[in-house]
Amino acid sequence: MELKPLRFIGEPIEVLFDRPPALEKKPDCPNGFVWRGQTHRVVEELAAWVDYTRRGRMARNMSPRHAAAAAARGIRLSIQMRGAFMSRPKVIIYGSVSLDGRLTLAPDVVLLFGDKRWDAIAAPSHVYEWLMFTHKPQALLEGSNSLVSRHSIPDPLPPVTGDPGELYQDFLPEAVIHHPAHYIWFTVVDSRGRVRWFYTGEPGKEAPGAEGQHLLVLVARHTPAEYLAYLQRENVPYLVAGEERVDLRLALEKLASQLGVRCVLSTSPGKLGGALVRAGLVDEVNVEFFPAIIGGTETPTLFESPDLQADEWPTRLRLLEAQVQAEGRVWLRYEVVREGRRAG
């Protein structure tokens, strides 16, 4: 990752804490901050110090000698940070899986279309609602295989007339992004342009029970122009990030900078989750295990990704919470441990 040196000395910033700090007057390093309207997340704390200088009436309560000692011990207001900042949203991953980490029953079973065997073993739970309520994400993030079977052949689309180059700009229609009823993006990674949409969030095309949710597609420069033209006809916003596939980091940065997204909840913990983890883009992982073993050799599983290279390390996690739930389910909640400058 290329690091750009930035100086914030004397600049006003709004600090962001994922959880309220335990010590209000002496908070730990924040999880992020807003600077000039852009949200940055803190990757790593390299140095911190606290300003013990008293101000206003409080300053007059100290003897000059004590005030000088306090000022020398501390430094400027609250906390100063040096290091790598990222301007991407917080990313949380959630999945409900069998004990062996299977996301579905067999390679081509897309659960969106329903499967009575899955319904019988994976009882409904409240974890998704808890995550929505707690983190209040501005975007959901899904993989294309969660919407269409990985071997499905999409319906052909009409050829593009005119300059296809113009389609490879981000498409963010004002009326959609500033719609007063909008509250969350249903974001889908689809570099190959495979998904044909029924529910887009447009009037008359709202997914049942998901009013205020609008479709947003992440595409790449290799996405067929016919697909981009199709999205424009359907008034579906899209962001172009990456060449052959979606550059997930760039896409997340665009979500933050262009649409003000500060938190993303991805409910695709398989291949998309794996790609996000390998790119160092995950902050929190929530997995609910239900008591069944599905097995298989090609059945989608948690965090599928390229095998680790000799110089790569597993992604380390820190347990935040473990809950045994009804019907033998276990919910594990972890945060990702940021190690050195490698992390994103």
Ligand X SMILES: NC(=O)c1ccc[n+]([C@@H]2O[C@H](COP(=O)([O-])OP(=O)(O)OC[C@H]3O[C@@H](n4cnc5c(N)ncnc54)[C@H](OP(=O)(O)O)[C@@H]3O)[C@@H](O)[C@H]2O)c1
Taking the complex as a whole, how short is the minimal distance between the CB of residue 267 and ligand X, in angstroms? 5
- In angstroms, rounded to a whole number, what is the distance separating the alpha carbons of residues 334 and 317? 6
The answer to whether the beta carbons of residues 236 and 216 sit under 8 Å apart is yes
The torsion angles phi and psi of 146, rounded to 5 degrees, stand at -80, -10
* Continuous segment of H or E residues that includes residue 118: helix 116-121
| Residue closer to ligand X (CB basis): 32 or 95 | 95
97 near ligand X (CB under 6 A)? yes
Give the 3-state secondary structure of residue 146.
helix
* Continuous segment of H or E residues that includes residue 273: helix 271-278
Task: Show the tokens assigned to 290.
Answer: 């239900």
284 near ligand X (CB under 6 A)? no
Please select the residue that binds ligand X; options are 190, 253, 283, 284, rule is CB under 6 A: 190
Select the span of 30-38, 63-71, 106-114, 178-186 touching ligand X (CB under 6 A). Answer: 106-114
| Residue closer to ligand X (CB basis): 145 or 200 | 145
Please select the residue that binds ligand X; options are 29, 42, 103, 259, rule is CB under 6 A: 103
Binding mask 110-149 for ligand X (x = CB under 6 A): xxx------------------------------xxxx---
187 near ligand X (CB under 6 A)? no
Taking the complex as a whole, how short is the minimal distance between the CB of residue 159 and ligand X, in angstroms? 22
Helices (H) and strands (E) in the chain — how many of each? 8, 13
Taking the complex as a whole, how short is the minimal distance between the CB of residue 189 and ligand X, in angstroms? 4
Taking the complex as a whole, how short is the minimal distance between the CB of residue 148 and ligand X, in angstroms? 9
Handedness of CA 93, 99, 101, 107 (dihedral sign): negative
Taking the complex as a whole, how short is the minimal distance between the CB of residue 127 and ligand X, in angstroms? 10
| Residue closer to ligand X (CB basis): 52 or 128 | 128
Using CB under 6 A as the binding rule, the residues of this chain from 252 to 281 that contact ligand X are 267-268, 270-272, 275
Taking the complex as a whole, how short is the minimal distance between the CB of residue 44 and ligand X, in angstroms? 24
CA 198 vs CA 25, 203, 271, 315: distances in Å: 51, 12, 24, 37
Using CB under 6 A as the binding rule, the residues of this chain from 57 to 96 that contact ligand X are 95-96
Judging by beta carbons within 10 Å of its beta carbon (0-12, 13-18, 19+), is residue 311 exposed, middle or buried? exposed
Contacts by 219-223 with C-beta closer than 8 Å and gap 24+? 219/190, 219/191, 219/193, 219/246, 220/191, 220/244, 220/245, 220/246, 220/247, 221/168, 222/191, 223/190, 223/191, 223/192, 223/193
- In angstroms, rounded to a whole number, what is the distance separating the alpha carbons of residues 232 and 225? 11
Using CB under 6 A as the binding rule, the residues of this chain from 236 to 255 that contact ligand X are 245-246, 248
Taking the complex as a whole, how short is the minimal distance between the CB of residue 302 and ligand X, in angstroms? 9
Taking the complex as a whole, how short is the minimal distance between the CB of residue 191 and ligand X, in angstroms? 3
Binding site residues, ligand X, CB under 6 A:
95-97, 103-104, 109-112, 143-146, 189-192, 245-246, 248, 267-268, 270-272, 275, 300, 304
